[in-house]
Amino acid sequence: MKPFEPDQVKTFRTPKYTGVSLSLLSMFVLTSMIVVWNQITPNSQPEKIALSIACESILEIPVRASAAQFEKEFNLPIKIKVHSLQEVTRNYLSHSHHENNPYDLFIGSDFMPESQNLQNKIFKESISVAKYLPVFATRSDFGLEIKNWSDILDRNLTIGQIDFTNELGQQTYPSHKIDESFQIDANILPYNSISSLTNSLLNSTQLDGVIIKHDTARKYGLKIHQVEELDAISIQYSAQILSRSNLASKGLQFARYLAAPSKGQFHFANHNLIGVDGDRWSKCPTITIYSEPNFTKIMTPSVDLFVEREGIQINLLFPRTEKLVFTISSISQSTTSNLLPDLLLVSPKTAKKIPPDYISLKTGVTSPGGLFLLNSNSHYRSLTERYVDSIVTNL
């Protein structure tokens, strides 16, 4: 018989785990589960859809600078494709009958297809962002002073200008349009680019002068002549929103950003472009409207659609005529004139009682017995006018 050896007896012993050990084990298991879960669970944050912009090449620098600032402020991605105006025109005309136009916004020179219906089909809104005046310019050593178109005709001068014509034979580059009435007898040579135009003027005797942008003339050191007929021509650059854009609200927000004096206008000014009197910047502006009660059916149908598309707010009130007139008159005579509503819709009789702070809007369509009066000091004149356009369109 073997002797009894206590050390060889196998008995169950309780594991020597402390509370700290168990806590660490639990944390390890939990961490492992989180790692595995993240690997099998897709990212719940959807990728933001970028606002797609077609930009005329001449505006590339200020638009890209504005877009970079806008993206940083609002975390909205923007994709910009730069084209010549002819390319942009062809693109929009070719996509006018398709649902899948690749762009949400076009920024560049205003161009108008022959058919107004086609223009309306392509674009829904247009916001001016910059402008310039065409000038008559010559070499710096040109000895004559030119003050009007008659001086050009009398001296039989040969002038050059940009002439872009699209495939449909339409004039789509409006930047140097001159009224045909004083162009008939002039010696005008067309050029298809700024570089070829200025090169011909500076390095040959083919041209006596050119019709060109003011900032371009300064860039090349040309002598600028103030021709009376050209002073009346203002060339607009606009941000135009595609009718079928799925990001219309964001497109309009960026267009307002470009037109705002404290935002995009800074970059256009740095690029020697003339600014526009755009609305004050606000991510979600609010306009206030007073209307006489009998115009309720005119004002209310378009409010919701306009608010949704523009991404704004509208305070629409229908006070009695006596209260409306009293309120407007009282505020206009006080130190709180900034509280005046942006827009009024009143009868011609009531309009005579409204202070001169308001101006009548020419809509081209007369609402039944009503006049739209715009607050001339409104911070959102452009936005308010677009709302009136939306109302008139549905009348």
Q: What is the DSSP letter of 157?
A: -
Judge if 170 and 266 occupy the same domain.
no
Is 251 within 8 Å of 241 (Cβ atoms)?
Answer: yes
CATH of the domain at 368: 3.40.190.10
Judge if 245 and 108 occupy the same domain.
yes
- Euclidean distance between CA atoms 8 and 197, whole angstroms: 107
Residue 300 confidence (pLDDT): 87
354 is a domain residue: yes
Judge if 186 and 330 occupy the same domain.
no
26 is a domain residue: no
Judge if 224 and 243 occupy the same domain.
no
Judge if 247 and 227 occupy the same domain.
no
Residue 17 confidence (pLDDT): 55
Judge if 256 and 302 occupy the same domain.
no
Nearest CA-CA partner of 372 in 312, 313, 298, 308: 298
Residues 6+ apart with CB under 8 A from 15: none
Chain mean position to CA 170:
25
Q: Which domain holds residue 348?
A: 286-393
Judge if 249 and 107 occupy the same domain.
yes
User: Looking at the 3D structure of the chain, how many domains does it have?
Assistant: 3
Judge if 119 and 240 occupy the same domain.
yes
Residue 80 confidence (pLDDT): 95
**Environment class of residue 45 by beta-carbon count within 10 Å: exposed (0-12), middle (13-18) or buried (19+)?**
exposed
Please name the helix (run of DSSP H) or strand (run of DSSP E) that holds residue 264, with its range, or none: helix 264-270
Judge if 207 and 266 occupy the same domain.
no
280 is a domain residue: no
Judge if 94 and 240 occupy the same domain.
yes
308 is a domain residue: yes
182 is a domain residue: yes
Residue with tokens 């009998």: 294
Judge if 114 and 156 occupy the same domain.
no
**Environment class of residue 27 by beta-carbon count within 10 Å: exposed (0-12), middle (13-18) or buried (19+)?**
exposed
96 is a domain residue: yes
Judge if 98 and 141 occupy the same domain.
no
Collapse the DSSP code of 8 into the 3-class scheme (helix H, G, I; strand E, B; otherwise coil) and give the result: helix
* Residue 203 token pair: 């390095």
Tell me the DSSP string of 353-364: TS-TTEEE---S
355-382 pLDDT, tens digit each: 999 999 876 555 567 899 999 999 999 9
List of the chain residues with pLDDT < 50: 12, 164-177, 179-181
Is 286 within 8 Å of 312 (Cβ atoms)?
Answer: yes
* Residue 354 token pair: 């409204």
Residue 281 confidence (pLDDT): 97
Q: Amino acid letter at 66?
A: S
37 is a domain residue: no
179 is a domain residue: yes
- Euclidean distance between CA atoms 384 and 333, whole angstroms: 23
Collapse the DSSP code of 71 into the 3-class scheme (helix H, G, I; strand E, B; otherwise coil) and give the result: helix
